[in-house]
Structures are given as C-alpha cells and as structure tokens.
Amino acid sequence: MRKPEILAPAGNLEKLKIAVDYGADAVYIGGGRLNLRAFSNNFTTEQIMEGIKYCHDRGRKLYVTLNVFPRNHDLEGAESYIRELYEIGVDAVIVADPSLVAICKEVAPELEIHLSTQANTVNWRAVKFWYELGVKRIVLARELTFKEIKTITSYMPNGCDIEAFVHGSMCVAYSGRCLISNYMLGRDANKGICGNVCRYKYYLVEETRPNEYYPVVEDDNGTYIMNSKDLCMIKHIPELIESGIYSFKIEGRMKSEFYVASVVKAYREAVDSYFKNPYEYEFKDEWMDILTKISHRKYHTGFYLGINGEENYDESSYLRDYDLVGMVKEYDEETGVATILQKNRVFENDEVEVLRAEDPYFKVTLTDMFDVDKNVKTDVANRAHMVFKAKVNKPLKKNDMLVKASKKLTL
C-alpha cells in the first residue's frame, strides 16, 4: 500500500512555501494562463521557477493548473506556454479539456498530465479512456461515494493514479460545472470569476403576486437551498487510504496562509499516524481542533458516505473563531524577543496560540511590544503588515503562526 500524497493549494509563492514547510508532498498553482482562478495571485514564470526549486530542493512536487474549458481564442499561444512549463521543470499539468491534452502530447510528450475534476470523471471506463490518451492521473468528480471509488480503483489500469478532494469548499454544480453565476452576473465560473450566487438567499415568487415571497426551505437563519457545507474527511483517513485514492487534494488556492498551514498540518499528522501503525490507528481530536480554528463553513463528509441532499446544505456564513494575528520572522534566543509581521490587530499582553508544523498548539504571551517601523514602544499592532517586536515567555521559531480567539464568530 502506497502512502498517499498530501496535495495542497498555493495561491502565491508565500503560501507555496508554507504548504511545503507544513508537510505537503506536492502543491498545485495557477500560472498566467488557462487556469480557473482569475482572482488569485497567479504565478509569473519567474515565480513558478522559484516555486519549483523550493519544492524540488525538499523532495516535493509542483503541478500547474490549466483547467479552463478554452474557447478558440484561449488556445492562442497555448503551445508555447505548455512547452515553457515543461522546459522549466513542472512535475505535471492539470487539464480539463481534450484540446489541452492533445497540445501537451504534441509539444511536450514527456510532460505528465493530470485530468481535472472539472472533467467530471465518475466511472472506471472513463478513467481507462483518459489513461489510454496519455493522462497519468485522474482527479475524480466530487460526487462519488467510497463504494463507487473502490470500483473505479479495482478496474484502474496499472500506472494510473487517482486523486480526490478531501477538504474544502464544495460546489452546488456538478464538479464546478456551473452556469448560474454567468447567467445572473455575467461572471463565468468556468473562467475563474464565479460570483458564488449559490450562497444567496432565494425565495419563490408567483407571477401574479409580485412582492409576495415564499420561502423554498427555511430555518431560523433563512433560506438556503444551494449553500453546500465544507468538505472535511479528517475522521475518515483509513477509508480514504483503503479506497485506493493516491492523492489527497485540499481545496483553497484563494484561502489564507493560516488555512493552508492548518489543513496541511492536520492531514499530514493523520496520514503519518495511520502509516506508523495502521492496526492501532486512532483519530485524535486535536486534528479537528486545528481545522475548526480556521475560517470555514460547517463541515460535512460530502458524498463519500452516500449522504447528500438537505444534510449537505446550510447557511452561507463562515464560522471564524480564530484570526491569524502575526507570523514570526525572527527569534532571539538570548533575549526571548520575537520579530513579528502583523496580520490582524493584536495588543500587548495578549495571550496567543502558536501554530507550528511539527508541534501541537501552545500558548505564549506578548509583552514589551515595540514598533519597528516607527522605532517606538507600542501597546498595539494595528497596521497591516506592521513589523513589531515582542518579548515572549516560550521559545519561538521563524515562520511560527500566532493566532488569537476572535470575538467575531461569523463573517
């Protein structure tokens, strides 16, 4: 049994490094063209090269998404772009459309191809079809159950890998193939500019009764017929592994560095714990504790367990119990003083929790705060990206994340 890959999202170079540092085996990013995240900070060629070096120096991999469904004009320059990605050393490209599979085979036949979840692969014959066309890995549609996945992996050709999402936002549409946003707002979900109109509140109006609104489904919070909960499979690591899925994919190229670090850490520890001794594996509550600290919608197991319908839908608000308030840039062991990059407002004498790749959460208190930018003592760090120093009562390390319980529980 192969140890599965933990595959993390990286919306920019900083998040890429955080994902790797917190235990990801591979990262997926968007380049300057043909990817489904128009609003994220997509990588330039130079940044991709830096990301490749950072990954390869640490024995990790980097994949580039080319997962749009291109119109004719989108294909202009695709050959040179794909050839460039191969030449600079990306480990694979993730595509959804047959045109890009064909271009990859034509201009870079040695480049590994992964098929995006956007292609809606839901059966073993489709897996075999794509593999025979030269696709090395299939990212399954998110609508599949464990039973269906086991059938797929039992018929899977030798040399083919299966990847599946295990954590993150879900879509009301079939693997993200959604036209609602385009229809209502002119923002094409399949070009990365979805307006998330499935999160809106909807009512039914009868033609001859204007301004009389009838709720479709209602609870104490409102009407939510399309607001899917967030996927979270941290409690089902053995089932994921035994199903034959090789790559555990985390959603979230547009999520924060706090999100990336937390989710990667939780799944890394869970997978490592299983492979240390599968027969004595036990789920640890601390992994779920890590995942509940980040901004998220209510968690659900998606379609894996065959449970869907109304149980998978809820209000659109995020739960946000903790904020990332700072990242440690330096720590002086002699003085016990940390240099910190501010991420959210934090006060002198605040007790904060420390998120670190290799250790459980622990708490420190920030005292004797000093504003490095203004060269004055301060009792609050309240400017975006402010650099400040603070004395702490426990040793810290570079890139430790400092988080604090938030008074604002919903966003």
Token pair of 279 as six digits: 């027969």
Q: Are strands 367-371 and 387-391 parallel, antiparallel or unpaired?
A: antiparallel
Residue for token pair 């650099």 = 387
Beta bridge partners of 403: 324, 353
Residue 197 is predicted with a pLDDT of 78
- Rounded to whole angstroms, the Cα distance separating 94 from 243 reads 22
- Rounded to whole angstroms, the Cα distance separating 218 from 315 reads 10
321 in Cβ contact with 409 (< 8 Å): yes
Per DSSP, 86 falls in state H
Per DSSP, 303 falls in state T
- In the chain, the domains with their CATH numbers are 5-171+228-310 (3.20.20.80), 180-226 (no CATH), 322-405 (2.40.30.10)
E strand map for 173-321: 203-205, 213-215, 230-232, 247-250, 299-300
Residue 216 is predicted with a pLDDT of 66
Residue 203 is predicted with a pLDDT of 73
Residue for token pair 């599949």 = 144
Q: Which of 310, 320, 321, 319 is nearest to 219 (CA)?
A: 310
Give every residue of the chain whose pLDDT is below 50, as ranges.
409-411
Distance between first and last Cα of the chain:
42
Token pair of 382 as six digits: 């309240």
Token pair of 394 as six digits: 């426990």
- Rounded to whole angstroms, the Cα distance separating 75 from 54 reads 30
Q: Are strands 401-405 and 351-356 parallel, antiparallel or unpaired?
A: antiparallel
What is the reported pTM? 0.89
Residue 411 is predicted with a pLDDT of 37
Phi, psi of 243 (to 5 degrees): -75, -15
- Rounded to whole angstroms, the Cα distance separating 310 from 312 reads 5
Inter-helix orientation angle 13-21/257-276, to 10°: 20
